[in-house]
């Protein structure tokens, strides 16, 4: 178990993290999510022991670790830019930490082979120079280099951000599988909400050094705790005062007619749902349709207010621009603060 207990981190007179309190459970895949500059890397490096907090205590395994040097914390760290040694072979890179610890040759060989197998690097690839490998393979070398030392905690700082979109999705899955096979407590930093939602057991959403919400992916997405979380975590409609008034008089009596209020794009339905009881009905005109293959997004003009809807059409006939649209919204899906 890891805890941040009233952690403050300052750089000169800039307070990067004012008062961080978080608990990460054993074996958990825990993600620090937020926009660039919100303090994710700072929080991670403080846990790793590379940054000394100006106040508070870090606990690892329930014991105070704030004064432990980094090498005594048994953390493995992986960076966005891999930080591999370019003149060494893949195998030498993975073995680097073992060499520092003066591990015996045959033991090193065995450990490197074992971890290479786990991250799906072949014996052939171990002999190559790192520069001969693709970005995705290099990142797997960096992960192997961290894991070969059998850390208690794996720390990953935007490890997939330098890869192209398709590879990123593949590696996401591999990394998640590896983590659950090993059961290693993992703290993962990303600014990518989809990455956080697909990989994490729990997520902490950061805004300007402050955690706005901690929860499961479903908590964060469906039950966003603050306007910042709900607008950061995915596409969403901000309802105009007029739309909100029409929704609250049209059946959403539990809604507060004074905003702000938000509804996710896929919660705005363009066909009457099979069980439509409780849904509020609005009318409008299709202003624009954008085709995305797996789904389409629509902009609907409803009495002068724009609402966006995301629809999987499954071969059904799409609504044409300029035609009338019927909107159905479950008031329970509207987020209000």
Ligand X SMILES: Nc1ncnc2c1ncn2[C@@H]1O[C@H](COP(=O)(O)OP(=O)(O)O)[C@@H](O)[C@H]1O
Interacting residues with ligand X (CB under 6 A): 11, 14, 16, 34, 36-42
Cα–Cα distance for residue pair 295/2, rounded to 1 Å: 41
Beta strand pairing call for 75-78 and 63-64: unpaired
Shortest distance (Å) from residue 40 CB to Mg ion: 5
By CB under 5 A, tell whether 3 contacts Mg ion.
Answer: no
Which does residue 115 touch among Mg ion, ligand X, none (CB within 5 to 8 A, set by kind)?
A: none
Other residues' Cβ atoms within 10 Å of the Cβ of residue 318: 15
Q: Compare residues 144 and 155 and give the one whose CB is closer to Mg ion.
A: 155
CB 9 to ligand X: min, Å: 8
Select from 36-44, 55-63, 138-146, 303-311 the region that touches Mg ion (CB under 5 A). Answer: 36-44
**Helix count (H) and strand count (E) of the chain?**
10, 17
Beta bridge partners of 286: 300
How many angstroms separate the CA atoms of 215 and 202, rounded?
A: 5
31 binds, among ligand X, Mg ion, none (CB under 5 to 8 A by kind): none
| Cα–Cα nearest to 247, from 173, 333, 138 | 333
| CB contact at 8 A, 94 and 76 | no
Site membership for Mg ion, residue 31 (CB under 5 A): no
User: CA–CA separation, 266 vs 247, rounded Å?
Assistant: 17
Q: Minimal distance in Å, beta carbon 99 to Mg ion?
A: 29
> Which of 193/237 has CB closer to ligand X?
193
Minimum separation from the CB atom of position 32 to ligand X (A): 8
Residue closer to ligand X by CB (options 40, 202) is 40
42 binds, among ligand X, Mg ion, none (CB under 5 to 8 A by kind): ligand X
> Per CB under 5 A, which region of 37-45, 103-111, 265-273, 313-321 contacts Mg ion?
37-45
With tokens 């008089």, the residue in question is: 249
Q: How far is the CB of 49 from ligand X (least distance, A)?
A: 15
Pairing verdict, β 280-291 and 210-215: unpaired
Q: Does 41 bind Mg ion (CB under 5 A)?
A: yes
In whole angstroms, what is the distance from residue 78 CA to residue 15 CA? 25
Q: For ligand X, give the closer residue by CB, 80 or 302.
A: 80
With respect to ligand X, which residue has the nearer C-beta, 50 or 328?
50
| DSSP E strand stretches across 252-302 | 261-264, 280-291, 296-302
Chain residues binding Mg ion by CB under 5 A are 41
């Amino acid at each position: 178990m890891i805890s941040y207990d009233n952690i403050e981190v300052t750089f000169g007179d800039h307070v990067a993290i004012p008062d961080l309190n978080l608990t990460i459970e054993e074996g958990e895949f825990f993600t620090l999510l937020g926009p660039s500059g919100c303090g994710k890397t700072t929080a991670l490096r403080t846990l790793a022991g590379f940054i000394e907090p100006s106040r508070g205590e870090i606990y690892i395994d329930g014991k105070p670790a704030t004064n432990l040097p980094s090498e005594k914390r048994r953390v493995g760290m992986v960076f966005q830019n891999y930080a591999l040694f370019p003149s060494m072979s893949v195998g030498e890179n993975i073995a680097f930490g073992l060499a520092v610890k003066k591990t015996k040759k045959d033991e090193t060989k065995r450990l490197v082979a074992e971890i290479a197998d786990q991250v799906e690097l072949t014996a052939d690839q171990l002999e190559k120079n790192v520069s001969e490998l693709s970005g995705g393979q290099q990142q797997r070398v960096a992960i192997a280099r961290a894991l070969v030392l059998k850390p208690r905690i794996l720390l990953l700082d935007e490890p997939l951000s330098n890869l192209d979109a398709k590879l990123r999705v593949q590696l996401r899955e591999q990394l998640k599988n590896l983590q659950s096979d090993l059961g290693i407590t993992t703290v993962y930093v990303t600014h990518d909400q989809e990455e956080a939602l697909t990989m994490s057991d729990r997520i902490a959403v950061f805004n300007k050094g402050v955690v706005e919400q901690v929860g499961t992916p479903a908590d964060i997405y469906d039950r966003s705790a603050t306007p910042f979380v709900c607008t950061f975590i995915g596409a969403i409609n901000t309802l105009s005062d007029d739309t909100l008034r029409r929704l609250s008089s049209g059946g959403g009596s539990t809604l507060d007619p004074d905003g702000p209020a938000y509804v996710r794009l896929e919660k705005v339905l363009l066909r009457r749902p099979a069980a439509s009881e409780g849904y509020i009905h609005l009318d409008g005109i299709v202003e624009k349709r954008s085709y995305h293959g797996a789904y389409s997004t629509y902009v609907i003009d409803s009495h002068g207010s724009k609402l966006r809807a995301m629809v999987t059409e499954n071969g059904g006939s799409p609504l044409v621009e300029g035609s009338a649209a019927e909107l159905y919204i479950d008031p329970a899906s509207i987020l209000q603060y």
